[in-house]
């Protein structure tokens, strides 16, 4: 069907802050966003062409170039890699005789990678035209290739291809307690806004995104900020490789999440909520919209909620577009406003200058669900579990070398070993807790505890057994950060790229001790000088691995103390190609270099 840009723009009321959503519709219709469409869109929205172009260029799921009638993106996450995604991708590339990321000459298909699809418990996985397919095998890749060859629209593919399994393996305090729709809202209303703020503060609830900031303090600061307009934003953009708990929470507990958002709105005096959902979870859009509409009909959203005069609140859904940095709250707000997801300078903080510069509460899915439970059952609900500094429970996404990957809920204070035993891990060499930006634990540290005061985590738990090459794990993480750096500040832009190159050299056996020193130095520099959390934490896996798996590095390093970072032999590759020579004599002896 021909692109009807005016209809799309009209559907979004010509609002430039809807730009990311508008671009999703253009991509769905055309498969790319052509330069003339960019021009027309800028005119229709009354913004500069450069602004639209900048947004198109920023997000991985948008493209100003045609990517083929079928765009296949394999998850590049380490757990998918360990499950064989690289081999399956190679197989598909050779089937279509196309280079990675290139479009076949007939414009049929391109085959590339994306950082993580949030299906680490059922990988390898891929996205085809934005739709997720999990549990890939040689056979399914053959079937997918045949459908693509036959030019069969994705909508007509067998529906079982797109089945996402639910792996909710362990429920505790939060997920085992059921609430009827409206129960938490009613409790908040009868308690009153100030008392609800106090209850949240007294519960000791801390943000479940990893940093652990007090939710009560955040809500109170937003409520106290001047001005009549406030917002509640739910960050459902969990892009950290190894994290998929929001997928389960949004599938089974979305009602509780919306309840938590309404409680927050009542407590701080907000009338609008925004749910920012990562684009990889596009399959959740329909059920979420349906649930929102049911809640409107039930009087749990809209005007005068629960017959409370002036309690007006509704929730809008926004889809991200494949930028990991948008998990950072200020970058997420920029994205919600239809801009590139560049993290803002802080202060000021979102509680006073958030969405559209208005006071805004930004919490993640798990935090808002916990807040709903506190509103219903009181502060003691959370205090009944966990530790003094970390009350309540944590929902974990467990993947990698375990018999039962999936989502597990535990009281804070639970040991890493307990989680591993329950998930069926044996011969564990290392656990990456909190995703690539988190903490790499070696075998001797498994008695440490999941808690803000010991091992804090946003929820990812990737397990590697004794057969795994830890350098390939770190190599994957450094590539991830190089790919996801937004490029705004120099330490992170240059540092993540340098780290990826140095790590590739070390892993390939051509790195020197000097390279190991350099990669540690670059990681430290990023930690202290980067603009946002992505750059600050990008060197963590390198530093942890150097400290805990040094022998693995030493086995790969050249014995010479200093080797030039510049690889002269590699630089001579074009000359070899031009001369048609690739024999031993056409290579430099690197040992002697
Ligand atoms: Fe962007 Fe990295 Fe700088 Fe953050 S640290 S602003 S992701 S370049």
pLDDT in tens, 272-286: 999 999 999 999 999
What is the secondary structure of 527-591 as a DSSP string?
HHH-SSHHHHHTTHHHHHHHHH-HHHHHHHS-SSS---SS-HHHHTHHHHHHHT--SGGGS--GG
* Atom 5, ligand 1: residue with shortest CA distance: 535
Cα–Cα dist 502/482, whole Å: 12
CA–centroid distance, residue 541 to ligand 1 (Å): 17
Query: Is pLDDT at 575 greater than 90 in this prediction?
Result: no
- pLDDT tens for 181-218 read 999 999 999 999 999 999 999 999 999 987 899 999 99
- pLDDT tens for 513-561 read 999 999 999 999 999 999 999 999 999 999 999 999 999 999 998 755 5
CA–centroid distance, residue 538 to ligand 1 (Å): 10
Torsion angle of C-alpha atoms 264, 265, 269, 272, degrees rounded to 10: 150
CA–centroid distance, residue 550 to ligand 1 (Å): 28
**Mean pLDDT to the nearest integer, 296-317:** 97
Name which residue leads in pLDDT, 173 or 563.
173
Q: How confident is the model at residue 588 (pLDDT cuts 50, 70, 90)?
A: very low
* Atom 4, ligand 1: residue with shortest CA distance: 532
Number of the ligand 1 atom closest to the C-alpha atom of 325: 7
CA–centroid distance, residue 529 to ligand 1 (Å): 10
Ligand 1 probe mutation, 323, 525, 530, 539, most atoms within 8 A of CB: 530
Query: Facing residues of 394 across strands?
Result: 410
Whole-model pTM over 0.85: yes
Cα–Cα dist 541/523, whole Å: 9
- pLDDT tens for 142-154 read 999 999 999 999 9
Question: Residue 210's pLDDT is what?
Answer: 77
């Amino acid at each position: 069907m021909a692109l009807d840009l005016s209809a799309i723009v009209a559907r979004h009321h010509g609002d430039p802050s809807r730009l990311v959503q508008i671009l999703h519709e253009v991509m769905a219709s055309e498969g790319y966003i052509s330069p003339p469409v960019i021009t027309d869109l800028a005119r229709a929205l009354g913004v500069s062409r450069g602004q639209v172009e900048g947004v198109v260029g920023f997000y991985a799921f948008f493209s100003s170039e045609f990517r083929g009638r079928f765009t296949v993106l394999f998850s590049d996450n380490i757990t998918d890699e360990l499950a064989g995604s690289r081999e399956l991708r190679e197989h598909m590339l050779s089937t279509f005789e196309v280079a990675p990321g290139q479009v076949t000459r007939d414009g049929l298909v391109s085959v590339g990678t994306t950082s993580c699809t949030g299906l680490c418990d059922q990988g390898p996985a891929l996205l085809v035209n934005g739709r997720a397919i999990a549990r890939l095998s040689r056979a399914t890749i053959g079937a997918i290739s045949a459908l693509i060859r036959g030019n069969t629209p994705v909508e007509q593919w067998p529906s079982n291809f797109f089945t996402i399994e639910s792996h909710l393996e362990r429920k505790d305090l939060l997920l085992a307690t059921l609430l009827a729709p409206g129960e938490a809202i009613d409790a908040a209303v009868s308690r009153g806004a100030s008392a609800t703020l106090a209850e949240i503060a007294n519960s000791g609830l801390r943000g479940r995104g990893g940093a652990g900031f007090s939710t009560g303090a955040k809500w109170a600061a937003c409520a106290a900020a001047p001005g009549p307009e406030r917002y509640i934003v739910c960050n459902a953009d969990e892009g950290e490789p190894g994290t998929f708990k929001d997928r389960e929470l949004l599938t089974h507990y979305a009602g509780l999440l919306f309840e938590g958002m309404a409680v927050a709105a009542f407590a701080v005096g907000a009338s609008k909520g925004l749910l920012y959902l990562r684009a990889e979870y596009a399959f959740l859009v329909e059920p979420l919209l349906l649930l929102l509409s049911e809640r409107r009909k039930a009087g749990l959203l809209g005007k005068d909620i629960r017959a409370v005069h002036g309690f007006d609140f509704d929730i809008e859904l926004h889809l991200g577009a494949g930028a990991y940095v948008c998990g950072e709250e200020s970058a997420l707000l920029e994205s919600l406003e239809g801009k590139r997801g560049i993290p803002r300078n802080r202060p000021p903080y979102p509680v006073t200058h958030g969405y559209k510069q208005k006071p805004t509460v930004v919490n993640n899915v798990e935090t808002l669900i916990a807040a709903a439970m506190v509103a219903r059952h009181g502060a003691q609900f959370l205090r009944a579990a966990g530790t003094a500094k970390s009350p309540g429970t944590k929902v974990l996404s467990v993947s990698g070398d375990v018999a039962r990957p999936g989502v597990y809920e535990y009281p804070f204070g639970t040991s890493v070993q307990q989680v591993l035993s329950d998930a069926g891990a044996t011969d564990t060499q290392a656990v990456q807790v909190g995703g690539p930006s988190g903490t790499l634990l070696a075998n001797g540290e498994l008695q440490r505890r999941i808690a803000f005061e010991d091992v804090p985590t946003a929820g990812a738990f990737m397990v590697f057994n004794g057969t795994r090459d830890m350098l390939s794990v770190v190599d994957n993480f450094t590539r991830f950060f190089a790919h996801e750096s937004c490029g705004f500040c120099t330490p992170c832009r240059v540092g993540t790229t340098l780290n990826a190159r140095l790590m590739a050299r070390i892993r390939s056996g051509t790195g020197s001790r000097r390279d190991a020193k350099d990669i540690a130095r670059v990681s430290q520099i990023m930690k202290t000088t980067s603009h946002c959390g992505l750059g600050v934490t990008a060197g963590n896996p390198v530093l942890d691995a150097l400290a805990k798996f040094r022998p693995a590095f030493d086995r790969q390093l050249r014995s010479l103390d200093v080797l030039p970072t510049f690889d002269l032999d590699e630089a001579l590759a074009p000359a070899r190609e031009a001369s048609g020579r690739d024999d031993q004599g056409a290579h430099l002896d690197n040992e002697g270099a």
